[in-house]
A and B are shown apart, each in its own frame.
Chain A
Amino acid sequence: MIGGLFVYNHKGEVLISRVYRDDIGRNAVDAFRVNVIHARQQVRSPVTNIARTSFFHIKRANIWMAAVTKQNVNAAMVFEFMLKVIDVMQSYFGKISEENIKNNFVLIYELLDEILDFGYPQNTDTGVLKTFITQQGIKSQTKEEQAQITSQVTGQIGWRREGIKYRRNELFLDVLEYVNLLMSPQGQVLSAHVAGKVVMKSYLSGMPECKFGINDKIVMEAKGKGMTTEDPARSGKPVVVIDDCQFHQCVKLSKFETEHSISFIPPDGEFELMRYRTTKDISLPFRVIPLVREVGRTKMEVKVVLKSNFKQSLLGQKIEVKIPTPLNTSGVQLICLKGKAKYKASENAIVWKIKRMAGLKETQLSAEIELLETDTKKKWTRPPISMNFEVPFAPSGFKVRYLKVFESKLNYSDHDVIKWVRYIGRSGLYETRC
């Protein structure tokens, strides 16, 4: 039961204020501003309790969004809801920024009226919302249309309306993964995990039922047992061990639990089909080998070797290595074999950028850092070297085995659908200690 929802800019000025319940007064708006926004980063917790009122906030760029309640609500629900609100707003007017919010405030109030009723979250599906909240202004709808909206919103399949028709039936699957790593200077993996998601864009006619297959270890083993006695791991086909996963609401969970098959009627357009996490057998796309030598009190030498560790035919992109420098750096000389490197004083780091790099290659950077003598005896703590990249494969080994489309009423079959699958691996927090 969210009592109210406020949106502030970075200065703490209120952009949007919508109160759903009487127990939230106007002073709640100011309380959050004074105690959290103006606290200059002193408040780290996303939940703040001020005078028996709970404030849940998230921050996007310079925009603060806060949900307020006086009751004991499920905090996870509130955050989930706020993230959804952000999603919805993004799909309506793109980037969340102060200007965009100011320009679309009528729309935002309209959306807030729809997705939160007396503080209870309602349908937040973008596809559905777009059918009756449009940016084209008021359009008087016919009786049938109104009835249709009602039946759809209240019906069993709230995320897809009837009678969608495409000349070309097409679907796109994006497997997006974020690799997180912490490595010791000696190259030992201290912690690594992949957070991935499958995003689907569907342009399919009618009410198609889809079945989605992946190389999940449980499914593969069950299948292996059913057909042959051969161990699937030895059969050469790579499998992925998924630690946990969650699905879009369209996936029939009962079927997943009994048969371990993912079947669903997709919403029209783009949506996130599933989200998962793996921690085993991750192929790390890049390896950073640091070498730091402190020459006296006023000089330091750093050498960083970067190795790409994937198929030669593939190309890594947008590679950026960030090497932290001591706080008393007074000058830096850099030599790098590939890409561009620069000392960025504002971040206290050397930033080395490489546009493209093929697999199984190696390159290096060496830096000479001059230091200024200071009166503090504190030793430099050497923060880890971090890096960013993008590679065209899934580092977890996740594979889409099939995606079958069944539509019994309309006369197109699985073979008529054009399917596209794409794998993207990106860096999350990818750090090597030095």
Chain B
Amino acid sequence: MPAVRGDGMRGLAVFISDIRNCKSKEAEIKRINKELANIRSKFKGDKTLDGYQKKKYVCKLLFIFLLGHDIDFGHMEAVNLLSSNKYSEKQIGYLFISVLVNTRSDLINLINQSIKNDLQSRNPIHVNLALQCIANIGSKEMAEVFGHDIPKLLVSGDTMDVVKQSAALCLLRLFRTSQEIIPGGEWTSRIIHLLNDQHMGVVTAATSLIDALVKKNPDEYKGCISLAVSRLSRIVTASYTDLQDYTYYFVPAPWLSVKLLRLLQNYPPPDDPGVRGRLIECLETILNKAQEPPKSKKVQHSNAKNAVLFEAISLIIHMDTEPNLLVRACNQLGQFLSNRETNLRYLALESMCLLATSEFSHDAVKKHQEVVILSMKMEKDVSVRQQAVDLLYAMCDKTNAEEIVQEMLNYLETADYSIREEMVLKVAILAEKYATDYTWYVDVILNLIRIAGDYVSEEVWYRVIQIVINRDDVQGYAAKTVFEALQAPACHENMVKVGGYILGEFGNLIAGDQRSSPSVQFQLLHSKYHLCSPMTRALLLSTYIKFVNLFPEIKTQIQEVFKQHSNLRSADAELQQRASEYLQLSIIASHDMLATVLEEMPVFPERESSILAVLKKKKPGRVPENEIREHKSPVPGSTANHQEERSAAKTVSANASTDLLGLSTPPAAPTAGNTGVLVDMLGELYTSGSPQPHANNVAAQNAYNPAKFVCKNNGVLFENDLIQIGVKSEFRQNLGRITLFYGNKTSTALQNFSAAVTNPTGCIGKLNVQSKKVDPTVEAGAQVQQMVNGECVFDYPGLSSILMANLPLTKLIKNEQHLNFIVLISV
């Protein structure tokens, strides 16, 4: 039998021990069902239950609820308990209500009444229970009902400290649910003055409340700055014997200090020189105290001390005006870097990341570079290593970029898988940003691909190609380096992609060397072909056709390869198409034409680097800035320079980069000027049988797709901002009827509107077309229709004939537009 203490509830203890002794889930459910039935019959019974019994049953219900079962009765009994005078019964009642009653319940009025009574009670314990309940439920309704009482409690003179403390926290909870609850005006100063309260508990609770209020309305509560600073200085200068109850392991009021320091971080550094001086004095004292030998060996002592210190440092970083303090903070953190505590090292690295972005302490942080690199390599905990990487990234600038990038590359080989991808992105960004010599950049990226190829995202290698193409000074070097890199027996697919692309463009620059003669280059690339994915293979095929242009001497060799892949041997349709198209191109086109078609890629337009965006997307909220914040105070020249340089180096957005290389789209998508030529020519090669000469008339920027009418009779033919043209067509044998609908999409009427249907010259005599005139005005938002009847007189060699409609439109703003359409009529 379980032991029962004092006024404990025996029935409850027995029930709980029964449940704990149940051997299976089923047995437990049976026991609970039995108990529920018992309680139901007790609650239903006509005899009235005394407070003890009610309390016991309500307790059992709570326990059952906490085991995960639904409770749908007993609320009334719980509410009854609220009016009891016994603490234990009242407490259980409040507990049940805050756990189980939803705010939409019918009982909420009764509950509110009880709470109101308790709030006005003279017994502080009852008041506290009521406040706890309000804070636990914290609904909007509660905020409305008690919105007046609680602030009164908080500032009234005769409220006890304990109650004030609870009232402040309760108010904070309600403030979070409904922002309007805090009255303005005179209340503001009264709430702020709680910071001066004698009782430290009240101050601690009030600081939390004020912090929330300040976040919403900083100006109104500006007055709290000086109060907070003076409170803080009193705590900081106090010896640990002064604040007896609020001294935690020899640290005076650490929680309150931390809260005050946080509160101050909501504002810029104080303007009043007195307050400012006092605050700086406080911060200096905190930094001084960190140097003192510890008063206790207990971990709690150092934890509390360091908590205050770190908060102080983040305030220093937030203010960012005191070079002296910043450097001192940085030195202090530097000491922590070699501390035994892992947590401390982590926090030190984290804060240093922030310090590195301040112009005053950037150099101070750089002094610790060695230690940070060491901790990136040696640290046991992966999160600390990650933090070290972040810090390295943040402290990198022109002077140390080469060293840091080299260290990160070295470490990458052994780095944890979880942080590799991020490291790769960081290395890529740093290398690009601080590259003075682009050969170095190319080296770094190729190393990156070699070491951690799997983690190199598309963006990274797109970027290196863009840079190589845009800078002709590195092209030769890049070609040579990739050629050497490709000679490794096993190289990553990304390397093959970069290699294929660069050799295709600039292979000629290294062809003079006997060791990298054209056929050697080709053989080398082709030896990797079979190991690659279809996407890479497609890229390699494009490289080969470029080779045909660059090195005519290996043309036959390449044609052989195209022949091999132009049939069923390569299962991928895209590869087949490329191979056969390239083959035809190499056979048919003259040398001059090849040279035009396969000219070197044009320079890419400068765009923002997409890699940074990728990094930000990967780790939202925890990407350290690698950019020193600018100041109104005189800016060092270097900062400005690299700002500019950065914007100059920014290029390419993620979505465009795919298209630029034309990998995912079939070759028939005209994106760059050169490829456009290629397409048209191929178009004629393959479609010489069917007439398509009007393709160029089409205004390409509009949503216009006549081809869909080959198999569809109805639909939207053309649409832009001004007009929508719909088609409805019917065909019977050689007769066709087309109804054209012209819908005005503008908000003004279209006037002088006319539409004519002309018969293309080739079709005269073979096709009779009759059309009706259209109404010259099209009202705003209205639609007019035009009927066109067509009769096919002669049979055509092709399946379709072409009908062209010219619609000269004059808009109100007097700009004339000629729109040409093609309607395909299948006969």
A376 touches B33 (CB 8 A): no
Known A372-B73, A375-B72; judge A62-B24 contact (CB<8 A): yes
What's the nearest-Cβ distance from chain A to residue B812, in Å? 61
Interface window among A143-151, A246-254, A340-348: A340-348
Indicate with 1 or 0, residue by residue over B21-33, a CB within 8 angstroms of chain A CB atoms: 0011100001101
Select which of A62, A329, A346, A376 is within 8 A of B40 by beta carbon: A329
For window 328-385 of chain A, which residues contact chain B by CB distance below 8 Å?
328-331, 345-348, 370, 372-376
Known A331-B41, A375-B106; judge A345-B34 contact (CB<8 A): yes
B73 touches A374 (CB 8 A): yes
The answer to the question of B36 belonging to the interface, with a C-beta cut-off of 8 Å to chain A, is yes
B23 touches A372 (CB 8 A): no
CA distance A374 to B105 in the complex (A): 11
For window 304-332 of chain A, which residues contact chain B by CB distance below 8 Å?
327-331
Could you list 11 further interchain pairs (A-B, Cβ under 8 angstroms) beyond the known A10-B23, A375-B107? Answer: A327-B36, A328-B73, A330-B41, A346-B30, A346-B34, A346-B37, A347-B30, A348-B33, A372-B73, A375-B105, A376-B72
A374 — nearest CB in chain B belongs to which residue?
B72
B40 — nearest CB in chain A belongs to which residue?
A330
CA distance A374 to B100 in the complex (A): 13
Chain A residue numbers with a CB within 8 Å of B23 are 10, 62
The answer to the question of A44 belonging to the interface, with a C-beta cut-off of 8 Å to chain B, is no
CA distance A346 to B41 in the complex (A): 14
The answer to the question of B75 belonging to the interface, with a C-beta cut-off of 8 Å to chain A, is yes
B33 touches A346 (CB 8 A): yes
The answer to the question of A154 belonging to the interface, with a C-beta cut-off of 8 Å to chain B, is no
What's the nearest-Cβ distance from chain B to residue A199, in Å? 29
A329 touches B37 (CB 8 A): yes
Chain A residue numbers with a CB within 8 Å of B70 are 376
The answer to the question of B38 belonging to the interface, with a C-beta cut-off of 8 Å to chain A, is yes
A41 — nearest CB in chain B belongs to which residue?
B25
What's the nearest-Cβ distance from chain A to residue B401, in Å? 43
CA distance A375 to B43 in the complex (A): 14
Most buried by A among B37, B40, B70, B105: B37
A372 touches B43 (CB 8 A): yes
A-B complex: 5 closest residue pairs judged by Cβ atoms: A345-B37, A330-B44, A346-B30, A374-B72, A330-B40
Most buried by A among B25, B38, B72, B105: B72
A328 touches B72 (CB 8 A): yes
Q: Which residues of A contact B (CB under 8 A)?
A: 10, 40-41, 62, 327-331, 345-348, 370, 372-376
Chain B residue numbers with a CB within 8 Å of A347 are 30, 33
Chain A residue numbers with a CB within 8 Å of B31 are 346
Chain A residue numbers with a CB within 8 Å of B105 are 375
What's the nearest-Cβ distance from chain B to residue A378, in Å? 8
CA distance A373 to B23 in the complex (A): 33
Most buried by B among A40, A62, A330, A373: A330
Please name 23 pairs of A and B residues whose Cβ atoms are closer than 8 Å in the assembled complex, sorted by A. Answer: A10-B23, A10-B24, A40-B25, A62-B23, A62-B24, A330-B37, A330-B43, A345-B33, A345-B34, A345-B37, A346-B30, A346-B31, A346-B37, A347-B33, A348-B37, A372-B40, A372-B73, A374-B73, A375-B72, A375-B75, A375-B105, A375-B107, A376-B72
A345 touches B73 (CB 8 A): no
Select which of A40, A62, A345, A348 is within 8 A of B38 by beta carbon: A345
CA distance A345 to B70 in the complex (A): 16
Indicate with 1 or 0, residue by residue over B77-109, a CB within 8 angstroms of chain A CB atoms: 000000000000000000000000000011100
Chain B residue numbers with a CB within 8 Å of A345 are 33-34, 36-38
CA distance A327 to B40 in the complex (A): 10
CA distance A62 to B22 in the complex (A): 12
Q: How many residue pairs at the A-B interface have CB separations less than 8 Å?
A: 50
B44 touches A331 (CB 8 A): yes
CA distance A87 to B392 in the complex (A): 66
Chain A residue numbers with a CB within 8 Å of B106 are 375
Chain B residue numbers with a CB within 8 Å of A10 are 23-24
B107 — nearest CB in chain A belongs to which residue?
A375
Known A41-B25, A346-B30; judge A372-B44 contact (CB<8 A): yes
What's the nearest-Cβ distance from chain A to residue B72, in Å? 4
CA distance A373 to B74 in the complex (A): 10
B23 — nearest CB in chain A belongs to which residue?
A10
B38 — nearest CB in chain A belongs to which residue?
A345
Chain B residue numbers with a CB within 8 Å of A41 are 25
Chain B residue numbers with a CB within 8 Å of A374 are 72-73
B102 — nearest CB in chain A belongs to which residue?
A375
Chain A residue numbers with a CB within 8 Å of B43 are 330, 372
Most buried by A among B30, B38, B43, B44: B44
What's the nearest-Cβ distance from chain B to residue A107, in Å? 25
Chain B residue numbers with a CB within 8 Å of A62 are 23-24
CA distance A370 to B24 in the complex (A): 30
CA distance A322 to B75 in the complex (A): 31
Chain B residue numbers with a CB within 8 Å of A372 are 40, 43-44, 73
A9 — nearest CB in chain B belongs to which residue?
B23
CA distance A188 to B320 in the complex (A): 83
Known A10-B23, A10-B24, A346-B30; judge A373-B73 contact (CB<8 A): yes
Indicate with 1 or 0, residue by residue over B639-662, a CB within 8 angstroms of chain A CB atoms: 000000000000000000000000
A375 touches B34 (CB 8 A): no
What's the nearest-Cβ distance from chain A to residue B483, in Å? 42
Chain A residue numbers with a CB within 8 Å of B41 are 330-331
CA distance A327 to B75 in the complex (A): 16
What's the nearest-Cβ distance from chain A to residue B48, in Å? 16
CA distance A62 to B25 in the complex (A): 10
Select which of B38, B40, B44, B73 is within 8 A of A375 by beta carbon: B73
Indicate with 1 or 0, residue by residue over B748-767, a CB within 8 angstroms of chain A CB atoms: 00000000000000000000
CA distance A375 to B31 in the complex (A): 23
Most buried by B among A347, A375, A376: A375
Most buried by A among B31, B40, B75, B106: B40
CA distance A374 to B71 in the complex (A): 9
CA distance A327 to B32 in the complex (A): 12
CA distance A329 to B72 in the complex (A): 12
CA distance A330 to B44 in the complex (A): 7
CA distance A329 to B38 in the complex (A): 10
What's the nearest-Cβ distance from chain A to residue B420, in Å? 23
What's the nearest-Cβ distance from chain A to residue B447, in Å? 34
Most buried by B among A41, A346, A373: A346
B24 touches A328 (CB 8 A): no
CA distance A328 to B37 in the complex (A): 8
CA distance A330 to B38 in the complex (A): 8
What's the nearest-Cβ distance from chain B to residue A66, in Å? 17
What's the nearest-Cβ distance from chain A to residue B98, in Å? 16
What's the nearest-Cβ distance from chain B to residue A78, in Å? 25
CA distance A328 to B73 in the complex (A): 8
Chain B residue numbers with a CB within 8 Å of A375 are 72-73, 75, 105-107
CA distance A372 to B61 in the complex (A): 15
Chain B residue numbers with a CB within 8 Å of A376 are 70, 72
Chain A residue numbers with a CB within 8 Å of B75 are 375
Chain B residue numbers with a CB within 8 Å of A329 are 37, 40
Chain A residue numbers with a CB within 8 Å of B24 are 10, 62
CA distance A327 to B71 in the complex (A): 10
B68 — nearest CB in chain A belongs to which residue?
A40
What's the nearest-Cβ distance from chain A to residue B199, in Å? 42
Chain A residue numbers with a CB within 8 Å of B33 are 345-348
Chain B residue numbers with a CB within 8 Å of A328 are 40, 72-73
Chain A residue numbers with a CB within 8 Å of B37 are 329-330, 345-346, 348
B72 touches A370 (CB 8 A): no
CA distance A376 to B72 in the complex (A): 6
Indicate with 1 or 0, residue by residue over B269-302, a CB within 8 angstroms of chain A CB atoms: 0000000000000000000000000000000000
B44 — nearest CB in chain A belongs to which residue?
A330
What's the nearest-Cβ distance from chain A to residue B214, in Å? 41
Chain B residue numbers with a CB within 8 Å of A331 are 41, 44
